[in-house]
């Protein structure tokens, strides 16, 4: 039985196990129908032309890992940004781990999706927001159909949340192969500000497929900064579907750092519903071997006087492949839009490839939109210059590549996160960068 059939046929049993008597039940039932009809995307679809899920889908995944696995904090500490005080929502094989987590209901809700969809006090928020930003594509629908657990974050108005929130999904490899479908909902009300760090981490080399959906709502003048650290083990694949729905004068940024994993597809969508909205999408991808990272972004400018900034850097070694597909839509009413997009890439090996495609659909006439993509090799004359000063080839390469990706890091607002990413980049590039460039 292929994965699609397996998923569809397990739906009823799944729904019976969770609460059927909820608002989400109907949403799930509709979603499974969409998935059943559409199936997994194939390369025939324009948006999936350069990313094939075949190799990932052929595993015999366990859909609902049953074994309760526990892990010691000491063993996984390194996957946390542990040098800051933070809230933590941690899952092990899809199940909430209370002892690794630190949630709160003190003025804000930093807790679990499973609680939010079953308890009456969250009903209003769920009805107003759940599945209201996610699109009805097949993978998001698949996640919706099986949505039962994940992070639920609700920040009421006028709250500056001092501590960042870390959402971490561990998989232990207790099953031969595991599929996970976390579902996160983040609602930030007027004038509030929150910072979130998300990470998926497999602790073994057993195959893992994560199909995640995160919906983020930024209401009037809210600020959300979201950091995705994608540095998973070599048999872990991730399809990340993130939807950000912004109201007027809100600022939202998503930084995606992709270094590890087998296949990563980031579907990152921003919808601007109001004036003077600012959306920032940035990423650094550094991969090698046969890794594949696909950034598929959409910024939908609907109303006037808004901005969007996209800046993605990619460094590809060995036979790795990258895709950047950046779509910007500027509706007729969205005058004075300022939309910036850049995608710069370095191919270190002859066998690495990157497919980069900006897609601008502009219907307004008074806008400033710029986009540019470059694909280059390492600058040979710069390499010789550095080496002639005594910097070995490997370090010279590392330094050049680090400098190349550095301006994406400059907009990371949490110093500890920046430091961690710097370290990850240095490790990935095999250099010892003992200073902040």
Partner 1 sequence: MLKIENLHASVEDKAILRGINLEVKPGEVHAIMGPNGSGKSTLSSVIAGKEEYDVTEGSIIFNDEDIEDLAAEERAHKGIFLSFQYPVEIPGVSVTNFMKTAINETRKAQGLEEMPAKDMLKLIREKSELLEIDRKFLSRSLNEGFSGGEKKRNEIFQMAMLEPKLAILDETDSGLDIDALRIVANGVNKLKNKDNAVVVITHYQRLLDYIVPDFVHVLYNGRIVKSGGKELAHELEEKGYDWIKEEVNA
Give the ranges where 93-153 is alpha helix by DSSP (H). 113-118, 123-129, 138-145
178/208 Cα distance (integer angstroms):
5
Using an 8 Å Cβ cutoff, are 270 and 263 in contact?
no
Pick between residue 197 and residue 408 the one whose CB is nearest to partner 1: 408
Q: Residue 381 CB, nearest distance to partner 1 (Å)?
A: 5
Q: Residue 417 CB, nearest distance to partner 1 (Å)?
A: 20
Question: Which residue among 400, 408, 412, 429 contacts partner 1 (CB under 8 A)?
Answer: 400
Q: Does 110 bind partner 1 (CB under 8 A)?
A: no
Question: Which residue among 364, 373, 391, 414 contacts partner 1 (CB under 8 A)?
Answer: 391
Query: Which span sits near partner 1 by CB under 8 A: 33-41, 135-143, 336-344, 394-402?
Result: 394-402
Question: Which residue among 392, 413, 415, 430 contacts partner 1 (CB under 8 A)?
Answer: 392
Question: Which residue among 407, 411, 419, 427 contacts partner 1 (CB under 8 A)?
Answer: 407
Question: Which residue among 74, 107, 120, 390 contacts partner 1 (CB under 8 A)?
Answer: 390
Using an 8 Å Cβ cutoff, are 157 and 239 in contact?
no
Q: Residue 395 CB, nearest distance to partner 1 (Å)?
A: 6
213-252 footprint of partner 1 as x/- string (CB under 8 A): ----------------------------------------
Pick between residue 23 and residue 384 the one whose CB is nearest to partner 1: 384
Q: Does 44 bind partner 1 (CB under 8 A)?
A: no
Question: Which residue among 73, 403, 415, 423 contacts partner 1 (CB under 8 A)?
Answer: 403
Q: Does 384 bind partner 1 (CB under 8 A)?
A: yes
Question: Which residue among 102, 135, 406, 419 contacts partner 1 (CB under 8 A)?
Answer: 406
Q: Element (H or E) spanning 214, and its range?
A: strand 208-218
Pick between residue 364 and residue 382 the one whose CB is nearest to partner 1: 382
Q: What's the first-to-final CA gap in the chain, in angstroms?
A: 52
Q: Half-sphere exposure of 238 toward its Cβ, with a 13 Å CA cutoff?
A: 35
Q: Does 191 bind partner 1 (CB under 8 A)?
A: no
Instruction: Kindly provide the b/e burial profile for residues 97-117, where b requires at least 16 CB atoms within 10 angstroms of the residue's own CB.
Output: beebbbbeeeebbbbbbbbbb
Query: Which span sits near partner 1 by CB under 8 A: 222-230, 312-320, 323-331, 401-409?
Result: 401-409
Query: Which span sits near partner 1 by CB under 8 A: 9-17, 53-61, 321-329, 395-403?
Result: 395-403
Q: Residue 436 CB, nearest distance to partner 1 (Å)?
A: 9
Q: Residue 358 CB, nearest distance to partner 1 (Å)?
A: 23
199: left (phi over 0), alpha (psi -120 to 50) or beta: beta
Question: Which residue among 402, 408, 417, 422 contacts partner 1 (CB under 8 A)?
Answer: 402
Pick between residue 373 and residue 391 the one whose CB is nearest to partner 1: 391
Q: Does 421 bind partner 1 (CB under 8 A)?
A: no
Dihedral sign (CA 24, 31, 240, 134): negative
337-376 footprint of partner 1 as x/- string (CB under 8 A): ----------------------------------------
Using an 8 Å Cβ cutoff, are 258 and 230 in contact?
yes
Question: Which residue among 89, 224, 323, 399 contacts partner 1 (CB under 8 A)?
Answer: 399
220/409 Cα distance (integer angstroms):
27
Query: Which span sits near partner 1 by CB under 8 A: 240-248, 333-341, 359-367, 403-411?
Result: 403-411
Q: Does 35 bind partner 1 (CB under 8 A)?
A: no
Tokens of 328: 């910007």
Phi, psi of 420 (to 5 degrees): -65, -45
DSSP assigned state of 368: E
207/262 Cα distance (integer angstroms):
9
Phi, psi of 77 (to 5 degrees): -50, -40
Q: How many CB atoms lie within 10 A of CB 309?
A: 17
Give the ranges where 315-392 is alpha helix by DSSP (H). 380-387
Q: Does 380 bind partner 1 (CB under 8 A)?
A: yes
Residues 6+ apart with CB under 8 A from 42: 48, 52, 53
Select from 169, 196, 164, 172 the least CA-distant residue to 182: 169
Using an 8 Å Cβ cutoff, are 145 and 28 in contact?
yes
Cβ burial of 69 (10 Å; 0-12, 13-18, 19+) is middle
Using an 8 Å Cβ cutoff, are 225 and 195 in contact?
yes
Q: Does 386 bind partner 1 (CB under 8 A)?
A: yes
Tell me, by CB under 8 A, how many residues bind partner 1.
25
Pick between residue 156 and residue 372 the one whose CB is nearest to partner 1: 372
Question: By the criterion CB under 8 A, which residues form the site for partner 1?
Answer: 379-382, 384-393, 395-396, 399-400, 402-404, 406-407, 435, 437
């Amino acid at each position: 039985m292929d994965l699609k059939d397996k998923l569809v046929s397990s739906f009823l049993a799944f729904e019976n196990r969770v609460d059927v008597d909820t608002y989400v039940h109907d949403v799930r039932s509709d979603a499974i129908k969409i998935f059943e009809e559409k199936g997994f995307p194939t390369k025939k679809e324009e948006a999936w032309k350069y990313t094939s899920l075949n190799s990932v889908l052929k595993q015999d995944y366990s859909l609902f890992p049953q074994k309760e696995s526990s892990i010691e904090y000491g063993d996984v500490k390194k996957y946390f940004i542990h040098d800051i005080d933070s809230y933590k929502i941690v899952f092990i094989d899809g199940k909430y781990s209370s002892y690794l987590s630190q949630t709160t209901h003190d003025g804000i809700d930093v807790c679990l999706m499973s609680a939010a969809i079953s308890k009456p006090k969250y009903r209003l928020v769920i009805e107003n927001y759940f599945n209201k930003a996610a699109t009805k594509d097949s993978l998001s629908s698949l996640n919706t159909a099986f949505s039962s657990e994940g992070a639920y974050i609700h920040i009421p108005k006028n709250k500056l949340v001092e501590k960042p929130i870390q959402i971490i999904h561990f998989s232990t490899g207790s099953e031969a192969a595991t599929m996970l479908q976390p579902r996160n909902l983040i609602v930030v009300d007027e004038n509030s500000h929150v910072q979130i760090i998300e990470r998926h981490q497999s602790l073994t080399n057993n195959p893992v497929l994560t199909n995640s959906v995160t919906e983020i709502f930024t209401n009037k003048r809210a600020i959300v900064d979201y950091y995705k650290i994608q540095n998973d083990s070599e048999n872990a694949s991730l399809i990340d579907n993130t939807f950000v729905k912004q109201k007027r004068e809100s600022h939202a940024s998503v930084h995606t750092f992709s270094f590890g994993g087998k296949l990563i597809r980031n579907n990152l969508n921003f919808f601007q519903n109001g004036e003077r909205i600012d959306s920032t999408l940035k990423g650094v991808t550094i991969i090698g071997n046969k890794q594949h990272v696909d950034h598929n972004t959409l910024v939908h400018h609907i109303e006037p006087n808004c901005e969007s900034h996209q800046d993605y850097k990619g460094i590809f070694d060995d036979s790795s492949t990258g895709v950047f597909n950046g779509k910007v839509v500027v509706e007729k009413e969205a005058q004075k839009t300022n939309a910036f997009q850049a995608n710069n890439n370095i191919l270190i090996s002859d066998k690495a490839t990157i497919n980069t495609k900006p897609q601008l659909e502009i219907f307004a006439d008074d806008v400033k939109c710029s986009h540019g993509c470059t694909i280059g090799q390492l600058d040979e004359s710069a390499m010789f210059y550095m080496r002639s000063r005594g910097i070995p080839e490997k370090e010279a390469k590392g330094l050049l590549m680090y400098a190349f990706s550095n301006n994406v890091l400059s907009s990371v607002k949490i110093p500890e996160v920046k430091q961690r990413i710097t370290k990850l980049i240095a490790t990935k590039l095999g250099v010892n960068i003992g200073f902040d460039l």
